[in-house]
Structure 1
Amino acid sequence: MGIGTGIVLLLFGLILLMGVVNLDIPFVEDYQLGILLTVLGVVALILVVTLGGARRRSTHVVERDVTS
């Protein structure tokens, strides 16, 4: 899951929260689905930023045997 997924979830959640689009899903309120998608989008973005930063800071050591 990348930064794009978090942004898309956040945007869909905000669209549902604002009432721009009305979905006819049985047993699901648009407002509640919007809250859920917004929270998931924010969590996804936080995870990408924190875990992505740790991934960039890692170093790789390659050992080569030069004795022949």
Structure 2
Amino acid sequence: MSIGGGVVLFVIGAILAFAVNIQVAWLDLTMAGYILMAAGVVVFLVGILLLFRRRSVASTTRSAVDPVSGDRVTRRTSSLDDPEY
């Protein structure tokens, strides 16, 4: 979501900076476009960093002896650090 948001901010900023030729008395649209483009790059980079951080996997192996049958039981579980998955 943040990667797409960064791209959207960058595109809106580029449109304001380069394609809109309207003069507004209380706002410089070119400067607002550059600010939105910079914010879009920052949001995009943060989204990429969070994406790489989110993909780490934790693996656990447990061995125990079943008290009823006396057999050795090995349980392997793996999970992602992100609770969404």
TM range, smaller chain: 0.7 to 0.9
Aligned to 1:46: 45
- 5+ residue gaps, structure 1, are none
Task: For structure 2, list consecutive stretches of 5 or more residues without a partner in the other structure.
Answer: 68-85
| Structure-2 change in CA distance of 1:25 and 1:63 (3 Å) | farther
Question: Of Structure 1 and Structure 2, which has the larger fraction of its residues in helix?
Answer: 1
User: How many Å separate the matches in 2 of 1:38 and 1:15?
Assistant: 10
Following TM superposition, the consecutive aligned residue runs of length 4 or more in structure 1 with deviations greater than 3 angstroms are: 22-26, 60-64
In the alignment, which residue of structure 2 is the partner of 1:16? 16
Once the 2 structures are TM-superposed, how far is the Cα of residue 16 of structure 1 from its aligned partner? 1.1
**Deviation of residue 47 (structure 1)?**
0.3
TM-score by structure 2 length? Answer: 0.61
Residue identity opposite 2:4 in structure 1: G
**RMSD of aligned Cα (Å):** 2.6
Q: Structure with the greater relative contact order (CA < 8 A, sep ≥ 6): 1 or 2?
A: 1
CA distance in structure 1 between the aligned counterparts of 2:24 and 2:58, rounded to whole angstroms: 49
Percent identical residues: 32
SS at match of 2:4: helix
Structure with greater strand percent? 2
- The aligned runs of 1:1-68 (5 Å cut-off) are 1-18=1-18, 20-22=19-21, 25-56=24-55, 58-61=56-59
Structure number with larger C-alpha Rg: 2
